[in-house]
Amino acid sequence: MASETPENTGSLADRITNPDAQTAATGTDDGAGTALHGSELNEPDYSVEVKLSDLQADPNNPLFSVKSFEQLGLDERILKGLSKMGFRKPSKVQERALPLLMANPAQNLVGQSQSGTGKTAAFVLNVLSRLDLSPEMQIKPQALILAPTRELARQIVGVIQVMGQFLEGLIIGTAVPADSTTRPAKMACSVVVGTPGTVMDMMKRRILAPNDIRVLVLDEADNMLDLQGMGDQCIRVKAALRPTAQIVLFSATFPEHVSEYSKKFAKDPNEIRLQHEELTVEGIKQLYLDCSSEEEKYNNLVQLYGLLTVGSSIIFVKTRAAAAEIEKRMVAEGHTIASLTGGIEGSQRDAVIDAFRSGEAKVLITTNVLARGIDVSTVSLVINYDIPEHFEQRGRGSREPDYQTYLHRIGRTGRFGRIGVAISFVSNREEWDMLRKIQQHFGCQIDRVDTGDWDEVEEVIKKTIKNSRAQANFKNEQ
């Protein structure tokens, strides 16, 4: 994604308020669904807080909250697609979000909801319901969905394909970084799903015409708006659309400063909030290994290999170089491991994630490129080989953990009420301090595992994986 990031300056607030003052940018289930080996929607009990921008909105209106998809007056072909996805009734988030999303005239929405609450299906449903699929219009982009990575963009495309499979004339375009030998053609489609830099580049080159786009969706919106380069690209994409376009922002997390900016990006939005963080971290058994050095971290990883292949596992590291080095060493020692980082070309990245989804590859080592949104139901173990941290803090005193990235990383396991284990490696005092801060921030328990007895380590982890609720202590059980 680094290749998509322009070097712009100025605060995010200024860039959203005055995008033209900046230089032009350079070139069942939620998530994947069962067809792409995603997880079933099995949501815990939680409350949904709704804030309406229109004070005249009537909570007593029957469409303020819906209990069935039929109440929304959906096209029968979309209802058939929902049935194929395994949806029988709206999730709690969908009950509140869909009437707000699908109201006419269209209103903006900022939604914060954890993975597995049906947010992807909600915004896809809204998009499909607003399309004109007449022969003249079906080749004109009318909805644009932006995601931070090609992997998440492809996953969203999969949801649209399943939900919209009975809509005659639906054409889906994907705007993600292409291999260096590929020349993109003009986007003649109804819906475009892509990454911000590629979409901006296509608009500049007149490959993607923005004139008829009536809905803009940002998935993992906090991540994109908070990253200066990607945020600039999102702002410029929005500036190219008609002023009446509906703006929809969804993310599992919204840090306070990004939350304020999001309301400027999506003017006068309706808002939906979940108390998500406690549910997410408490639904996953969190452990840590005390390592004396970087070499011991690697040796412990090799010791864990047998457990990593019980289901599927993701190993998160800090850099592409670290991923390449660990992959090289483990393969040389006879272990099967796949690697996916932002430095790999597009088609190769697609092949790696597809092999991981299908179970052909059991262990995947990656950077934060896969920390968000990716749904693979078989993932039972996540390894934080490196504690996630804010790189801008390096060299400026103490190292600060990246709480949101930690949350998103461990959220790749324990999907939607399933089992999950997250193990963090700690090799020095600074890493221990970061892990302690993470524990305090989320108010969770991260237990030490004694690497002096690997039989005991294996027993602890296997017992946890076999526990159907991962020793969860959800809010509704307290």
Measured in whole angstroms, the distance separating CA 93 from the mean position of its chain's CA atoms is 16
Percent of the chain with pLDDT over 70: 77
**Average pLDDT of the chain to the nearest whole number:** 80
Q: Which of 254-263, 387-396, 461-470 has the lowest mean pLDDT?
A: 461-470
**Residues whose CB falls within 8 Å of the CB of residue 112, separated by 6 or more in sequence, listed in order:** 250, 251, 252, 253, 254, 259, 271, 272, 273, 274, 276
Structure tokens at 470: 């991962």
What is the spatial distance between Cα 232 and Cα 364, in angstroms, rounded to a whole number?
Answer: 31
Distance of CA 292 to CAs 316, 365, 431, Å? Answer: 19, 22, 11
Indicate if the pLDDT at residue 279 is higher than 50.
no
The H or E element spanning position 83 is helix 76-84
Question: Which among 316, 233, 201, 249 has a CA at the least distance from the CA of 101?
Answer: 249
Segment 212-239, tens digit of pLDDT = 999 999 998 887 887 767 888 999 999 9
Question: What is residue 446's three-state secondary structure?
Answer: strand
Dihedral sign from CA coordinates of 309, 404, 402, 373: positive
Amino acid at 121: A
For every residue of 313-337, DSSP letters joined together read EEEE-S-HHHHHHHHHHHHHTT---
Question: What is residue 92's three-state secondary structure?
Answer: helix
What is the spatial distance between Cα 202 and Cα 28, in angstroms, rounded to a whole number?
Answer: 33
8 Å CB contact between 32 and 91: no
8 Å CB contact between 6 and 438: no
Q: What is the largest CA-CA distance in the chain?
A: 69
Segment 92-107, tens digit of pLDDT = 888 888 999 998 899 9
Q: Which of 76-90, 207-221, 273-287, 306-320 has the lowest mean pLDDT?
A: 273-287
What is the spatial distance between Cα 405 and Cα 253, in angstroms, rounded to a whole number?
Answer: 10
Q: What angle do CA 349, 371, 271 make, to 5 degrees?
A: 120
Indicate if the pLDDT at residue 408 is higher than 90.
no
Q: Which of 129-133, 190-194, 248-252 has the lowest mean pLDDT?
A: 248-252
Structure tokens at 304: 């864990």
Distance of CA 160 to CAs 9, 84, 89, 215, Å? Answer: 36, 12, 18, 15
Segment 168-212, tens digit of pLDDT = 999 999 998 875 556 667 899 999 999 999 999 999 999 999 999
Query: What length does the chain have?
Result: 478
The alpha helices in 130-190, defined as continuous H runs, are 150-163
**What phi and psi values does residue 349 have, to the nearest 5 degrees?**
-60, -45
Indicate if the pLDDT at residue 386 is higher than 90.
yes
**Residues whose CB falls within 8 Å of the CB of residue 27, separated by 6 or more in sequence, listed in order:** 4, 197, 198, 200, 201, 204, 205
